[in-house]
Amino acid sequence: MGFAPSGDYWRALRRISSAYLFSPRSVSATAPRRVAIGERMLRDLSAAPSGEVVMRRVLHAASLDHVMATVFGARYDAASPEGAELEEMVKEGYVRPARLVQLGRPPAVAQVAGPARRQEEVQEPGEQSEVFVARIIEEHRRKKKEAASGESEMIFRGTDTVAILLEWVMARMVLHPGIQSKAQAELDAVVGRGRVSDADVVRLPYLQRVVKETLRVHPPGPLLSWARLAVHDAVVGGHLVPAGTTAMVNMWAIAHDPAVWPEPSAFRPERFEEEDVSVLGAGRRVCPGKTLALATVHLWLAQLLHRFRWAPADGGVDLAERLGMSLEKPLVCKPTHSPLSTSGSRSCCTASSGRRRTAASTWRPPRSAPSGSRRRT
């Protein structure tokens, strides 16, 4: 959807997403599922055999579990061969989404509508009814392909966006213990010894500012609106944009402009006490799943900070980035529970290239399946 040109196909995908996946009613209805997946993630962190956890794997597994449950109503088994295959597909899909969208695009059946209509006019009534029924079947197939394309994009883009953003937030929490403590004090005041719920998030303004500042400093999608096409000549900021030009919005450059953001490299959530931003895009090409994505990130971050205290181990954290805007070196954590947690102690974090698998849940494919930007406001 993010790369599809404006037109009937893009509108169909947008309509499917808005009506069935990302509507406020749908997001609200899936709150218990998000809480449950977050609780499983916390249990996985607590039960790490060596006391250390590769955060990227835990967050990615939880995010993929959530997306699979949202789209298909099924859970995801990270330890299965099919789960490993799906993980690799998702990783590749995040790096090369344009190719995946292109592969998912349905055939242009409208091109043959004219000849088909002329053929109807010379056919017998029985033959005409067969053509009519065939057209209905073809339209049904086209709609199924459009739905599959929207669901595929939800899996590929929804999984890594949430996981990468949360990994960046946790890296910043480790590097800035004062900010972490302030967010945890807010959680202690709102949640106390209870369990974090979706309803608590609206009473956590500082935690929401932490997420906004992370999105500003480390946008998961630094280039927005790759398919924004100039349908006629336009002048933007004194520059001519000829008709037919595909414009890409450099989100990272906008979010690091010193003329707009004082000390752009500094991580200061307090800057959003007076300012605000429209996260994950704006306008017709705004991220359709931003409501669900932010609800998930806010809830899981609140659960992680409420249950554990996080501090860097020897070696610190490497904030070097790579293509896709994730950390070059995965964040490795040694969790312990916070004093107010319902089940107990403290956390230790560092950046490392080590790998550790953490199983998340139990989704398996059907038997027939193969193994194997923002603007300031």
Residue by residue, DSSP assigns 92-132 as HHHH-HHHHHHHTPPP-GGGGHHHHHHHHTTS-HHHHHHHH
Structure token digits, residue 368: 């027939």
Rounded (5°) CA angle 374-8-120? 175
The residue type found at 365 is P
For each of the chain's 377 residues, which pLDDT tens digit applies? 555 556 666 677 677 666 666 777 888 888 899 999 999 999 888 887 666 777 888 888 888 888 887 777 767 666 677 667 777 766 665 555 434 333 333 333 333 333 334 344 444 444 544 554 566 556 556 555 555 555 555 666 667 788 889 999 999 998 899 999 999 999 999 999 899 999 999 999 999 999 999 999 988 766 655 557 788 898 988 889 899 887 777 788 888 999 989 999 999 999 998 777 766 666 666 677 788 889 999 999 999 999 998 877 666 676 766 655 556 566 766 656 776 655 544 444 544 434 333 333 333 443 333 333 333 43
Structure token digits, residue 139: 């339209």
Please return the burial class of 282, using the count of CB atoms within 10 Å of its CB with bins 0-12, 13-18 and 19+: middle
Instruction: Look at the block and give the residue holding tokens 């955060």.
Output: 55
Domain residue limits, the chain: 8-376
Instruction: Compute the distance between CA of residue 170 and CA of residue 57 in angstroms, rounded to an integer.
Output: 14
Phi-psi region of 336 (alpha: psi -120 to 50; beta: other; left: phi over 0): beta
Hey, is 348 helix, strand or coil? strand
Binding site for heme: what residues are annotated?
287
Which one, of 80, 63, 249, lies nearest residue 157 by Cα?
63
Residue 291 · residue 25 · CB < 8 Å:
no
Residue 100 · residue 152 · CB < 8 Å:
yes
Q: Which residues pair with 246 in a beta bridge?
A: 229
Structure token digits, residue 197: 């719920």
Binding site: what residues are annotated?
287
Structure token digits, residue 124: 């017998």
Helix (H) or strand (E) holding 227: strand 223-229
Which CATH fold would you assign to the domain 8-376? Answer: Cytochrome p450 (1.10.630)
The neighbour count for residue 333, using CB atoms within 10 Å, is: 28
Q: Which residues pair with 351 in a beta bridge?
A: 331
Phi, psi angles (nearest 5°) of residue 347: -130, 150
The neighbour count for residue 13, using CB atoms within 10 Å, is: 22
Residue 75 · residue 69 · CB < 8 Å:
yes
Phi, psi angles (nearest 5°) of residue 282: -155, 165
Structure token digits, residue 304: 């992680």
Phi-psi region of 226 (alpha: psi -120 to 50; beta: other; left: phi over 0): alpha
